[in-house]
Amino acid sequence: MPKVLISDKMDPLAAKIFRERGVQVDEITGKTKDELIAMIGEYDGLAIRSSTKVTKDVLAAAKNLKVVGRAGIGVDNVDIPSASAAGVVVMNTPFGNSITTAEHAIALMFALARDLPEADKSTQAGKWEKNRFMGVEVTSKTLGLIGAGNIGSIVADRARGLKMKVVAYDPFLTPERALEMGVEKATLDELLARADFITLHTPLTDQTRNILSAENLAKTKKGVRIINCARGGLIDEEALKAALDSGHVGGAALDVFAKEPAEASPLFGTPNFISTPHLGASTSEAQVNVAIQVAEQMADFLMSGGVTNALNMPSLSAEEAPKLKPYMALAERLGRLVGQLQGDAIQSVAIEVEGAAAELNQKPITGAVLAGLMGVYSQTVNMVNAPFLAKERGLDVREVRHDREGDYHTLVRVTVGTPNGERSVAGTLFANAEPRLVEIFGVKVEADLAGEMLYIVNEDAPGFIGRLGTTLGEASINIGTFHLGRRAAGGEAVLLLSVDQPVGPALEKLRALPGVKFVKALSF
């Protein structure tokens, strides 16, 4: 039974779904990094929000971890390259809290426009300062949207409903999409010069870090009001403080901070500054959405191999996963076979699918071939990190899908490029379920690839098989299955045997047999 740790506060539905799906679950929140490191080793899955930091050290201690599920959008608290290298899938729930977060941005915009927090404080202090507070209307004002993705486009929709004009800066926003959203696409400088309100909705990347720097804040319209419900680090907080103090920026509302929890921001206490403690996603609706989604996605993955909303591997639906399972076993074994036989010489890999296999999602098949191939060198390779490691090793990976009908109803072929030319192995599925090798380096041989095996190339001459049997028998090695193929009678023959005991020192005796050209012990 797989085991999941929920390490951040999550709606109880998450735990309920895990249990219903046959996943064991512990909810232990608020732990320090060291405490997490001490306990993470026993878990197959880790469900988080933004508080848990999934760092390289945590991943190094997470010996059984297969999946990190983020009940929310931002994954900047997860070291994704390290997770990929460790073969851990990272998933998020990209839509579950978008409306809620967009609504929070709009709420903060109104709070700024009418100075609501200060007016509330003053009223509750019994002051009734009716003449102190003078707000602005948002109608007809220009809202500058930095980042027009899921949340940004909901904010734009709501702002248009409030009769605002929306200008958007997003390098990936197409003119067609801008038209559809009813926003005007602008450069960052144009947006800064025109906006009465600016709201940020981008991830934190090297390109967006300090996008509102001192220099860019200076380009804004005097009196601009700024809202950030995306990520701390998008605004230079010291520069914002100076711009608020000078009155150039008329107000700012931050839900997110460069350092969280933000216990001592330079902005605290500044007039016209409003803050919330990363509450963008905190509504009961959003938390139910993300809890259900993350638990379903993680349970799908742990129980049936389905992959949804993964950031470091291609998707694979829970319906596709069972169909692909035998193909992945076949692909993994073919990869393992060529990996063992060609090893370091492999410079490129082509994965071809034909017949029924050509109707499937090829990415998982490719991932499994690479996992098999590179698993020969490392115990920690799997479908997730294999493509990543292949890239790191400079392996040229190619996928080919054939429409043609071949000799088999379904076929996966793996061809590796080596300094000595190309070498190819192919396999099929018997009864749509059992992986079976059908060709090895140009010779037709049908064989199961399982357990301990021997691959032998020899001159096709009478008496060889007898001598082989005697040698193995003398070493007390029992032959399980025996598969023979040859290029032409009297030419080169290929033998694939499964053996019940490891071959060990008998390998040298086999190599010394007359007519033997090549012997290799294989393991599957």
Ligand X SMILES: O=C(O)C(=O)COP(=O)(O)O
Ligand Y SMILES: NC(=O)C1=CN([C@@H]2O[C@H](COP(=O)(O)OP(=O)(O)OC[C@H]3O[C@@H](n4cnc5c(N)ncnc54)[C@H](O)[C@@H]3O)[C@@H](O)[C@H]2O)C=CC1
Q: Please report whether residue 73 would count as binding ligand Y according to CB under 6 A.
A: yes
Residue 155 CB, nearest approach to ligand Y (Å): 9
Query: How many whole angstroms separate alpha carbon 98 and alpha carbon 150?
Result: 7
Instruction: By CB under 6 A, tell whether 342 contacts ligand Y.
Output: no
Residue 86: CB minimum distance to ligand X, A: 23
Q: Which of the listed partners (ligand Y, ligand X, none) does 49 bind, with a CB threshold of 5 to 8 Å by partner kind?
A: ligand X
Asked if 494 and 440 touch (Cβ cutoff 8 Å), the reply is yes
Query: 201 touches which of ligand X, ligand Y, none (CB within 5 to 8 A by kind)?
Result: ligand Y
Is 413 a binding residue for ligand Y by CB under 6 A? The answer is no
Residue owning tokens 């060291």: 34
Taking the least distance from each CB to ligand X, the nearer of 232 and 339 is 232
Nearer to ligand Y, 289 or 385 (CB): 289
171 binds, among ligand Y, ligand X, none (CB under 5 to 8 A by kind): ligand Y
Binding residue count for ligand X, defined by CB under 6 A:
10
Among the listed residues 2, 21, 49, 369, the single contact to ligand X using CB under 6 A: 49
- Helices 385-392 and 362-375 cross at an angle (nearest 10°) of 60
Give yes or no for residue 97 binding ligand X (CB under 6 A).
yes
By CB under 6 A, is residue 113 in contact with ligand Y? no
State yes or no: residue 326 binds ligand Y (CB under 6 A).
no
Q: Quick one: 122 or 208, whose CB is closer to ligand X?
A: 208
Which of ligand X, ligand Y, none interacts with 90 (beta carbon under 5 to 8 A by kind)?
Answer: none
Find the shortest distance in angstroms from Cβ 208 to ligand X: 14
Enter the tokens of residue 57: 């050290």
In the bound state with ligand X, the residue whose beta carbon lies nearer, of 254 and 516, is 254
Please tell me whether residue 74 binds ligand X under the rule CB under 6 A.
yes
Which of residues 5, 281, 330, 358 is near ligand X by CB under 6 A? 281
Cα–Cα distances in angstroms (integers) from residue 355 to residues 235, 310, 358, 365, 377, in the given order: 54, 28, 5, 14, 31
Burial degree of 314 (CB within 10 A; 0-12, 13-18, 19+): middle
Please tell me whether residue 50 binds ligand X under the rule CB under 6 A. Answer: yes
Q: Catalytic: 404?
A: no
* Dihedral angle over CA of 33, 36, 37, 42, nearest 10: -170
Q: Which does 470 bind (CB under 5 to 8 A by kind): ligand X, ligand Y, none?
A: none
Q: What is d(CA 196, CA 245) in angstroms, rounded to the nearest whole number? A: 18
State the Cα–Cα distance between residues 515 and 492, nearest whole angstrom.
10
Provide the token pair at 30: 């608020």
Q: How far is the CB of 228 from ligand X (least distance, A)?
A: 11
DSSP notation for 322-358:
HHHHHHHHHHHHHHHHHHHHHGGG--EEEEEEEEGGG
* Shortest distance, position 191 Cβ to ligand Y, whole Å: 10
Per annotation, catalytic residue among 27, 260, 399, 452: 260
Residue 55: contacted member of ligand Y, ligand X, none (CB under 5 to 8 Å, by partner type) = none
Give, in degrees to the nearest 5, the angle at Cα 475 between 474 and 481.
Answer: 95
Pick the closer one to ligand Y by CB: 292 or 412.
Answer: 292
CB closer to ligand X, 102 vs 330: 102
Residues pairing with 400 in the sheet = 352
- Counting contacts by CB under 6 A, is residue 207 touching ligand Y? yes
How far, in Å, CA of 188 to CA of 488, rounded? Answer: 71
> Which of 424, 496, 413 minimizes the C-alpha distance to 453?
496
Site stretch for ligand X (CB under 6 A), options 67-75, 112-120, 336-344, 422-430:
67-75
- φ and ψ of 11, to 5 deg: -60, 140
Chain centroid to CA 50: how far?
17
Only segment of 114-122, 182-190, 276-284, 466-474 that touches ligand X (CB under 6 A): 276-284
The residue whose two tokens read 């012990």 is: 521
Strand ordering across the sheet containing 24-27:
24-27, 3-6, 45-48, 67-70, 89-92
How far is 22 from 20, CA to CA, in rounded Å?
6
**413 lies in the site for ligand X, by CB under 6 A:** no
Q: Which of 169, 257, 327, 464 binds ligand Y (CB under 6 A)?
A: 169
Q: Which residue is nearest to ligand X (CB)?
A: 72
Instruction: By CB under 6 A, tell whether 203 contacts ligand Y.
Output: yes
Name, in order, each residue with C-beta under 8 angstroms of 467's C-beta and a sequence gap of 6 or more.
Answer: 513, 514
From residue 294 to residue 313, the character string flagging contacts with ligand Y as x (rule: CB under 6 A) and all else as - is --------------------
Q: What is the DSSP letter of 359?
A: G
Q: Which range of residues in 106-114, 280-288, 301-309, 337-345 is near ligand X by CB under 6 A?
A: 280-288
Q: Which of 231, 333, 423, 486 is catalytic?
A: 231
Which does residue 169 bind out of ligand Y, ligand X, none, counting CB within 5 to 8 angstroms by kind? ligand Y
Active site residue 238: no
Return all residues near 33 (Cβ < 8 A) that are at least 6 apart.
53, 55, 57, 58
| Adjacent-strand bridge partners of 454 | 497, 521
Cα–Cα dist 216/79, whole Å: 29
Determine if 435 is a binding residue for ligand Y (CB under 6 A).
Answer: no
Active-site residue flag, 486: no
Provide the annotated active-site residues. Answer: 231, 260, 278
Provide the binding-site residues for ligand Y, judged by CB under 6 A: 72-74, 97-98, 101, 146-152, 169-172, 201-203, 205, 207-208, 229-231, 255-256, 278, 280-281
Judged by the rule CB under 6 A, the positions of this chain that interact with ligand X are 49-50, 72-74, 97, 278, 280-282
